[in-house]
Structure 1
Amino acid sequence: MTDSTPFEIFLAVPPGLEPLLAEEAASLGFPAPAIVPGGVTFQGGWPDVWRANLSLRGATRVLARIGSFRAMHLAQLDKRARRFDWAGVLRPDVPVRVEATCKASKIYHAGAARQRIETALRDTLGVEVLTGPAAEDAPDDMSELRLKARIEDDLCTFSLDTTGMSLHKRGHKQAMAKAPLRETLAALFLRQCGYDGTEPVVDPMCGSGTFVIEAAEMALGLLPGRARHFAFESLASFDPVAWEALRATSANRDTTLHFHGSDRDAGAIRAATANAERAGVDHVTTFKTHAISDLMRPDGPPGLVMVNPPYGARIGDRKLLFALYGALGKTLAERFRGWRVGIVTSDPALAKATALPFLPPAPPVSNGGLKVALYRTAPLP
């Protein structure tokens, strides 16, 4: 595998959101994105891997499919793994963790397959192989490099996780409110509501500010991965000069729009304000402490009200939430004519309690172990 040879790049996303991620990838100029279960694929090179990690808002992680071969038994796997061009992609001084899965293959023992690949890496490249529990939530500078081996129908495919820590970890959300929505999911829900950075956004239950900050970043042209470390920086193919030039394209453009968040929890507002400052969007965002009943339409053109209210599944009493959703719907219907609304909830009955004229709901997706759906309106009459 040479630097100029295209390979398959896989963009992971929660099931059900693949079409939205494909739309985003196409809008950013990635060539011919194809929808597959659990993600989107396209052909590209290492600069495309870097740009995908840097610029995609909806992807969870980016995998580089670095090669494949047939293996009918463990001895054959061992031999061909030793002949693989590891030095073309891995550095001997960077530890790597190997993960293996087997499906519908003569090699059916994933643990034995993983051990053969680990031994091949040690013997041919001299690399340290990590064992024990994976450090998924380690600090950014401790992101592990992971090699994934998938053996399916006797075809062994090697993929490198080029992301490290999940892409929802933008690097600026240090303070979090209860039950935060992941940034990647928030970005896809904004896209599903037709948001493209050219209109204001209001979130009246903003928590730690995820929707407001994502929308403001989009309006300002700020790339989501501009402030964090990625696993690909530890690969043999990494070019730090080219990477810095690419990262410098996250230019802060001007916008006349303003983005508003509010919450009845003063601690949430403090968290959202601090997160917005770290993200560099504090000059176009305002966060205030007040109840839903005190929500007022901001001056200026209509835009999008985006809300992730409590669901009652883990936080609060579900019965009390019907009054909350009802108050939200009443306030929006009376004061936000011409605005579109997007509400994320796990409970259709709560969405119905708003009495808002929702379009047919989008298919549910997984969020932290719960199935949630986006309920959208056209501009309110």
Structure 2
Amino acid sequence: MTRALLIFLAALLVAAGCTAPRAEAQVSLLASWTGAEEATFTGILEEFRKKNTGIRVEYRGTRALGQVLKAEVAGGRPPDIAVLPGFGDLMPYIRQGQVRPVETAPAADNEQWRRLRQGGLAKQYAVPVKVDLKGLVFSRAPGPERAEELLAAGDWCLGLESGATSGWPGTDWVENLLLQRAGAEVYQRWVAGDLPWTDERVHQAWTDFGRVLGPRAPAALFTDFWDAGRAMFDDPPGCRREHQASFIATGYGGRPAPAPEYGEHFDFRPFPAFPGVAPASPFSADLAARFTDNPAATLLLQHLAGHTWPQPGPPELADRLRERLAGQDTLCFDGSDLMPVELRTMFYRAVLEYVADRTKLDELLRRLEQVRRTLQDDQDRRYSWVTVSCGR
């Protein structure tokens, strides 16, 4: 075929409106969601794709989120957006100038909620994507209503295995018990690194946690947190109540048919405050942050900021969870999610050691206190502790 003929054919294609395909914009996004949560999130991403034709989102879900992100940032190839479980993970990247500030964010209901969403920082660096209530008690029957009675009741479902983050369901217990017994002000001081781990109120929270462990505690070390509560529906029940976050309700549906139904087979309520303490609810928020200047990533972050992650379960359960989240007077970020990563990792390990041997509590708290002091005193580390963890 002659060069003249090639030119002629190209001219015909242009005249017919046929042009070479334009390169598709792409956004890379890293998060921890797999399974049912990944399916929900990919549905949110599909809505974005439909609104922004020509932008493709490359999603990767991994339980080793922290390790993967650290390696990719160090290698100079970070994802455009990463969804992190809290400010504790985000702070080092903010401090090193590797996270871009959020240019547009949803309007805050009030100043306190704005400061809470920003973790006390002057600028906002992330948007909450998925918010879950924590400190909920799921059970088949109502059971005791007072905090002391619940602690004494026993028969708690507990699973601590979660891969690289094993132990976190136990940290949720300690955090919530401190919040419900000592109050939001003490809790906030502890999360900010201003209250020693050896303080008697922190010690009491661990002791309270020890009361719910029961004789089956060692088995919790090898039980996946998703599976622990399913034993409530065995015949006879392997346990009778579970202290967990709102998302756990999706795990109950993973049992063989017929799956437990909300209202008929289980219900939930918040773990109550102790007498004389104002009620407060812990919550977790997965935070999406932008690590590159990719314009398409900015569009996706705006989409995530304006999207409400659906609450789990059937409509009746989802509506009640949404109402409870909106109706709280005081909300407090999950404490370990706000702590420096080194301290949080030690917290996870301390839970596992405590469950294995409850005589080690004082030793474990001294170790945690040493880590806190090291992080507070070493100015070269320049750790920015989250100063605001509770608000509304």
Q: The TM-score by the shorter chain falls in which range?
A: under 0.3
Q: Which has the higher strand share?
A: 1
Instruction: Using structure 1 for the length normalisation, give the TM-score.
Output: 0.25
**Structure 1 or 2: larger helix share?**
2
The normalised TM-score by structure 2 is 0.25
